[in-house]
């Protein structure tokens, strides 16, 4: 499609003038086709300037999500190599669920806005346009069902590395998978799976992640204002969403290889290095009851080991949640 090819060249020369003649020659299309593609891209909201006699320029401050803009930073073999970028969709997890049978391993759906973003425990996930990235990856892992939590662990580790690379600060992980800075939640992860009823084996897994990049223009709703934060609240510069998505996909593939090859020890070491609450007093919340405990470590399966009432207990993801103690600058329950 000429539109995609023109956008790819402009992304590769972001901030520089590219002449219409050069675009037409490189893409072996007419100058009229180039002009039509530029018009269509502008209508979609891409900030493309034209300079008389000089050509076209994609503004260096453009933060529009695009397949071309993501692909140019990708180093993966399969994650994100088959890619959809939507300006609006109900939910990227829903989209992949609907098309899981026909889409390849690693297919990624990215959206600028979700109208029915879903969170854990049946909650909704606020997904306004221009301020975040909402994406899901379809995987066909050969993993026993009980190891599905490793995919979520991989996603949490991958987004921490991606934030370091593209936002220049190092966040922490609150077990199981909340990624935080100064007590503010920066992103949410929702992993869903389809299981073959007869054999109990995994048909597919979908890992979805929503990342708050900047505060939406309309502000945050009152109920999440004290708990949600965004990357640009902490980054020393503007964050480029295409580069952030690609960095996440690159690290997710690396983590996936560790899981698939059984090298979970390396993944867990990485995961633990972001768990800044280990060794601290926490509260474990089960069936609405909060009990004091000390967070000791994370075992090779990603389970949390705590000391509670003088005994050591292993807490499995999903059966319990934790709250960090008030005296630290660490986050409360989210
Ligand atoms: C949570 O913290 O409750 C998890 C939120 C997960 C949100 C992401 S955004 C992309 C994907 N699509 C969805 O509908 N949900 C996930």
Note the pLDDT tens digit of each residue in 30-65: 999 999 999 999 998 899 999 888 899 999 889 999
Cβ atoms of residues 186 and 229 within 8 Å: yes
The pLDDT score that the predictor gives to residue 320 is 56
Q: Is the pLDDT of residue 280 over 80?
A: yes
Q: Is the pLDDT of residue 329 over 50?
A: no
Q: What single string gives the DSSP state of each residue in 120-133?
A: GGG-B----TTTEE
The pLDDT score that the predictor gives to residue 287 is 79
Residue 97, ligand 1, Cβ within 6 A? no
Give the integer Cα–Cα distance in Å for 156 and 125.
17
Sign of CA dihedral 51, 54, 59, 60: negative
More confident residue, 103 or 61: 103
Residue 81, ligand 1, Cβ within 6 A? no
Across the range 3-24, mean pLDDT stands at 94
The pLDDT score that the predictor gives to residue 147 is 87
Across the range 10-24, mean pLDDT stands at 93
CA–centroid distance, 92 to ligand 1, in Å, is: 8
The pLDDT score that the predictor gives to residue 305 is 95
Going across the sheet that includes 304-308, the strands are 311-315, 304-308, 289-298, 281-286, 321-324
The pLDDT score that the predictor gives to residue 197 is 84
Give the integer Cα–Cα distance in Å for 178 and 189.
8
Residue 118, ligand 1, Cβ within 6 A? yes
Q: The whole model's pTM is what?
A: 0.91
Instruction: Read off the pLDDT band of 179 (50, 70, 90).
Output: very high
In this structure, of 65-74, 153-162, 320-329, the range with the lowest mean pLDDT score is 320-329
Give the integer Cα–Cα distance in Å for 330 and 324.
6
Tell the burial category of 9 from Cβ atoms under 10 Å away from its Cβ (0-12, 13-18, 19+): middle
More confident residue, 191 or 333: 191
The pLDDT score that the predictor gives to residue 54 is 83
pLDDT in tens, 261-279: 999 999 999 999 999 889 9
Residue 181, ligand 1, Cβ within 6 A? no
Cβ atoms of residues 74 and 19 within 8 Å: no
The pLDDT score that the predictor gives to residue 273 is 95
Residue 132, ligand 1, Cβ within 6 A? no
Across the range 169-179, mean pLDDT stands at 93
pLDDT in tens, 199-211: 888 999 999 999 9
Tell the burial category of 165 from Cβ atoms under 10 Å away from its Cβ (0-12, 13-18, 19+): middle
Residue 209, ligand 1, Cβ within 6 A? yes
Which stretches of the chain are DSSP H helices? 2-12, 20-27, 31-43, 67-71, 92-99, 149-167, 222-225, 231-234, 241-260, 264-273
Q: Is the pLDDT of residue 24 over 70?
A: yes
CA–centroid distance, 205 to ligand 1, in Å, is: 14
Longest dimension (CA), the chain: 77
Residue with CA closest to ligand 1 atom 7: 210
The pLDDT score that the predictor gives to residue 321 is 63
Give the integer Cα–Cα distance in Å for 73 and 242.
8
Give the integer Cα–Cα distance in Å for 233 and 255.
27
């Amino acid at each position: 499609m000429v539109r995609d090819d023109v956008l790819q060249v402009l992304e590769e020369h972001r901030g520089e003038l590219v002449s219409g003649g050069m675009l037409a020659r490189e893409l072996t299309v007419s100058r009229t086709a180039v002009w039509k593609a530029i018009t269509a891209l502008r209508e979609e909201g891409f900030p493309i300037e034209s300079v008389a006699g000089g050509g076209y320029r994609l503004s260096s401050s453009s933060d529009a999500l695009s397949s071309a803009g993501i692909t140019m930073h990708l180093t993966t073999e399969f994650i994100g190599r088959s890619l959809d970028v939507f300006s609006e969709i109900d939910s990227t997890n829903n989209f992949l669920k609907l098309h899981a049978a026909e889409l390849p391993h690693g297919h990624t759906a990215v959206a600028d806005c979700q109208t029915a973003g879903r969170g854990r425990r049946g909650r909704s996930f606020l997904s306004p346009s221009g301020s975040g990235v909402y994406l899901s990856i379809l995987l066909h892992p050969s993993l026993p069902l009980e190891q599905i939590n490793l995919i979520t662990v991989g996603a949490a580790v991958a987004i921490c590395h991606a934030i370091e690379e593209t936002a220049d600060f190092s966040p922490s992980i609150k077990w199981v998978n909340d990624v935080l800075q100064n007590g503010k939640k920066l992103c949410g992860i929702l992993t869903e799976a389809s299981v073959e009823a007869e054999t109990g084996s995994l048909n597919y897994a979908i890992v979805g992640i929503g990342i708050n990049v900047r505060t939406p223009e309309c502000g945050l709703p009152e109920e999440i204002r004290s708990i949600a934060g965004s990357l640009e609240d902490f980054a020393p510069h503007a964050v480029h969403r295409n580069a952030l998505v690609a960095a996440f996909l690159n690290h997710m593939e690396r983590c996936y290889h560790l899981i698939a090859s059984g090298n979970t020890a390396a993944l867990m070491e990485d995961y633990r290095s972001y768990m800044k609450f280990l060794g601290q007093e926490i509260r474990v919340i089960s069936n609405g009851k909060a009990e004091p405990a000390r967070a000791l470590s994370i075992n090779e399966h990603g389970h949390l080991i705590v000391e509670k009432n003088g005994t050591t207990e292993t807490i499995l993801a999903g059966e319990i949640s934790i709250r960090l103690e008030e005296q630290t600058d660490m986050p409360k329950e989210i």
